Amino acid sequence: MTQVDVRKKILEANEAAAARLRTAFRDAGTLVVNIISSPGSGKTTLLEGTIRKMKDRFRLGGLDGDIATERDAERLRKAGIPARQILTGGACHLDARQIVSALDDEGEQFAGLDILFIENVGNLICPTSYDLGEDFKVALLSVTEGDDKPFKYPAIFSKAEVTVITKTDLLPFVEFDLGAVRSELATLRPGGTVFEVSSKTGAGLDAWCAGLEERLSGKRARPADLKG
Ligand SMILES: Nc1nc2c(ncn2[C@@H]2O[C@H](COP(=O)(O)OP(=O)(O)OP(=O)(O)O)[C@@H](O)[C@H]2O)c(=O)[nH]1
Ligand SMILES: [Mg+2]
């Protein structure tokens, strides 16, 4: 079997598991958000801020993919939601079967959530190809990474329905052309949504949370035969 055949088989198995997850999430009315970015762009910090704003009104849960350490799941638990770390043993992305087994292990804690956040392994390339049964992918781009990232890593920014530009409090200190980034994102993902957020100052967090609420209501309002 060639390398191409093996990769195809892996992706097909992932698609099958993701389709089963999507059906289960649809039946449960859970909105699932797959968050992807380079290491250190601010995924966990954005989730901590989101949890502070939403946890009193919504049942939230988190799955955190990492190569090593329980640190991110601990941070989310400390912020007040059930969270589980998935250690990938060196792999640079999460796959749908890991999500299935994490949810099987967690049982009740993760049943009937309003929103499940999946923080993928910090990487702009590998997680792009793996469907986790999510409603949509969110790409984060911090202003400290450089404004060339959507040009250099177009696949993730075209697959993500939502891009969050993070660490905007640092804009005065770095060279980052917001206009050029927004225009490239519009080309890569026409009709996509872009939020600008600083988890440090809280700027933009309300709009991001309102976007999540809107998506959750939209998912639950859709007639059963159109849900997917
Ligand atoms: N100034 C500033 N720093 C931030 C902001 N958001 C996150 N940080 C800092 O950026 C660093 C990385 O943040 P994390 O949230 O851990 O990043 P991450 O994407 O979860 O990282 P990995 O899980 O390792 O991929 C931390 O030192 C945060 O305090 C922000 O809005 N402004
Ligand atoms: Mg993290």
* 72-86: average pLDDT: 97
Identify the residue whose C-alpha is closest to ligand 1 atom 14.
Answer: 42
As assigned by CATH, the class of the 3-223 domain is: alpha beta
CA 171 to CA 199: how far, in whole Å?
Answer: 13
Identify the residue whose C-alpha is closest to ligand 1 atom 25.
Answer: 39
Residue that wins the pLDDT comparison between 227 and 203: 203
Contact criterion met (CB below 8 Å) for 23 and 96: no
Residue 224's pLDDT is what? 61
Please report, rounded to a whole number, the percentage of residues in the chain having pLDDT higher than 70: 97
Residue 2's pLDDT is what? 80
115-144 pLDDT, tens digit per residue, is 999 999 999 999 999 999 999 999 999 999
Q: Is the CB of 202 under 6 A from ligand 1?
A: no
- To test the ligand 1 pocket, which listed residue (45, 142, 168) has its Cβ within 8 A of the most ligand atoms? 45
Alpha helices in the chain (DSSP H): 3-28, 43-54, 71-79, 96-106, 149-152, 154-159, 178-188, 205-221
Sole residue written with tokens 């049982």: 107
Residue 223 has pLDDT above 70, yes or no: no
Q: Which listed ligand is nearest to 40 at the C-alpha? A: 1
Identify the residue whose C-alpha is closest to ligand 1 atom 13.
Answer: 42
Average pLDDT in the chain: 95
Q: Is the CB of 194 under 6 A from ligand 1?
A: no
Tokens of 116: 């499940």
Contacts of residue 119, defined as CB under 8 A and 6 or more positions apart, other chains included, come to 35, 43, 44, 47, 62, 63, 64, 65, 72
The structural domains of the chain, with segments of one domain joined by +, span: 3-223
160-209 pLDDT, tens digit per residue, is 999 999 999 999 999 999 999 999 999 999 999 999 999 999 999 999 99
Please report, rounded to a whole number, the percentage of residues in the chain having pLDDT higher than 90: 87
Q: If 0-12 CB within 10 Å is exposed, 13-18 middle and 19+ buried, where does residue 5 land?
A: exposed
Residue 18 has pLDDT above 80, yes or no: yes
Contact criterion met (CB below 8 Å) for 66 and 91: no
Tokens of 142: 């911090």
94-113 pLDDT, tens digit per residue, is 999 999 999 999 878 898 99
Q: Which listed ligand is nearest to 201 at the C-alpha? A: 1
For 140, other C-beta atoms within 10 Å of its C-beta total 27
